[in-house]
Chains A and B, each alone.
Chain A
Amino acid sequence: MNMIQLLNIRKVFNMGRPNEFTAIHGVSLSIHPHQVTALKGPSGSGKTTLLSILGCMARPTSGRIMLFDREITSLPERFLTEIRRKTFGFVFQQFHLIKGITVLENVMLPAYPGGEGYGALRKRAMEILDLLSLSKKASSRVEWLSGGEAQRTAIARALINRPSVMIADEPTGHLDSRLSQEFMQIMGRLKQDRKTILIASHDPIVHESETVDRVIEMRDGRII
């Protein structure tokens, strides 16, 4: 079974306008489950664009997407959001934590619309923070966190809805090499937990890591 399958995906920005730009040119790709897949390529090659299509964040201009062999290409927005919430956990380059609230609240945030009881949710969030050695920081505000702590908080938040796929875009962009290695170690642990992981990165630490099973290279919106 394929986790995610892309068939002849094209993404065109500003279609029909003078600044029309094709970011993805007919990409077909299968993502295997329980593996770490890295997307590699120069800046502007379309990594982020492809990742957001894989994660149901953006719709392709044409082509088809299958998730667990089920076609999801033309599902309405509401269903896509639900799929995104249940299936994917995202780690962004800038982490995008919400300032002014605690680490714990940030971690719980993606689960609020699911309607789970607060107590159970809190317990689960604490367990995840514990796994990432963040339990001591649970009630700190995110502004005070170090880079590594902020990153682990972002990972914890991505894990709260028990996603089967983790998606990370340039996760090591703001980290020094020690923290980058630590990130890859955490990804290794998640792989052991049978998560499927997708990482877009220029960083050789990512590509060369033994955690990564497969490196896909991109150039000018195509896979090479």
Chain B
Amino acid sequence: MWIEKQGNIIDFTLSSLLRRKRKNLALISVYMLVIFFFASVMFFTHAIKKEASIILKEAPEMVVQKMAGGRHELIPLGYIEQIKEIRGAHSVKGRLWGYYYDPVAGANFTLMVPGEGEVEQGGIAVGKGVSRVRFLDEEDEMEFMASDGEVFGLKVKQIFSPESELVSSDLILISEEDFRKLFGMVKGVATDIVLSVRNPKELSTIALKIAERLPDTRIILREEMLRTYEMVFNWRGGMMLVVLSGTLLAFIIFSWDRASGLSAEERREIGILKAIGWETSDVILMKFWEGTVISVSSFFVGVFLAYLHVFFLSSPLFEPALKGWAILYPKFKLIPFIDFYQIATLFFFTVVPYTGATIIPSWRAATIDPDSVMRT
């Protein structure tokens, strides 16, 4: 009984919607567009935050850099022994990394020496982004020009497609020997020194001790990096949301106007329905389904398009606003992360008010006396 009644009323609702095709299509398109923008921003900021947390999860707890004249300088490996003497500091290691400008691609690549034995001399492992811009396959050779002008080739041993493209798309892993040769870096120095701390509570004490012992260094904690990233992402995402809130407001006004302004034709129809035996609640039920069909379908289409936009088309609409820092990635792809809590929030703030906006005016129209139909 109940089910059949809903079925019948939905049936009529659908054919009603088809009757006012133009109005309803306009409504659905605007609705969809708003949802599309909101969901895109949400997907994008959320996915980027996730990427950042992946980067930072693998980042060392503490980085020690040597400073000279306020600038970052190569650090003598002798410092490692001195840091090791501090209680609580362990896995103290020198790191070798740098940026290499590749004139062929016209881009900067990040060069890094991984743990011992991961890349042998004469070979490299490259990220997806590098292989893409340089059209490299495995076993191809990539040419480098060393700081003394000598050109030499290194063989691509591996192309990795890592957890996060943001981190390692532009990454080239290289052996220590080739790295030193390329940048003309003498033995006994490293780019910086990294270490771990046994007890996280001791982080600041250890940092302080290093600073005392090695006054010409600067210490960077992972927590600080994390905060900086978060701030950057939140700020950028926040800006977008401010802009979008304006859009949402405009949308609410628009939908209120569209949905609440019942046309004379619709009023007449509500009168007829009342006269032929529909109750006020049946009319409202019909309007409820009408609002629901419009808003739910626009919502899901909008979310779906946003998903495609962000995760398959690399957010072409946001590139200027959100991705200033990435120059390299021609086909930068975020890993699809979806936060259902955010989607539920968006649903709640769009579908619910819209459906409300359609019901209230119909409720007013539905309480008119049925006999008014006999006089028109």
Contact = CB atoms under 8 A, between A and B. Distances in A.
Contacts of A105: 12, 15
Interface string B349-376: 0000000000000000000011101111
Interface of B: 1-2, 4-5, 7-9, 11-12, 15-16, 18-20, 265, 268-269, 272-273, 275-280, 282, 369-371, 373-376
Contacts of B268: 96
A92 to B, nearest CB: 6
29 contacts: A48-B375, A51-B374, A57-B369, A57-B370, A57-B371, A58-B371, A82-B279, A85-B278, A92-B373, A92-B374, A96-B268, A96-B275, A99-B19, A100-B15, A100-B16, A100-B19, A100-B20, A109-B12, A109-B273, A112-B9, A112-B12, A112-B282, A113-B277, A113-B279, A113-B282, A115-B4, A115-B5, A118-B8, A169-B374
A70 interface: no
Q: Summarize B's interface: helix, strand, loop or mixed.
A: helix
Given A98-B272, A112-B282, 12 more contacts: A58-B370, A90-B275, A93-B374, A96-B275, A99-B19, A100-B18, A105-B12, A110-B277, A112-B11, A112-B12, A113-B9, A118-B8
A112 B374 contact: no
A84 interface: yes
Interface of A: 48, 51-52, 57-58, 77-78, 81-82, 84-85, 90, 92-94, 96, 98-101, 105, 108-118, 121, 157, 161, 169
Contacts of A118: 4, 7-8, 11
Contacts, number: 90
A90 B276 contact: yes
B285 to A, nearest CB: 8
A113 B4 CA distance: 9
A115 B19 contact: no
B10 to A, nearest CB: 10
B169 to A, nearest CB: 55
Given A81-B279, A109-B273, A96 B373 contact: yes
B284 to A, nearest CB: 12
B374 to A, nearest CB: 5
Contact of B276 (A93, A109, A117, A121): A109
Given A98-B272, A121-B8, A85 B277 contact: yes
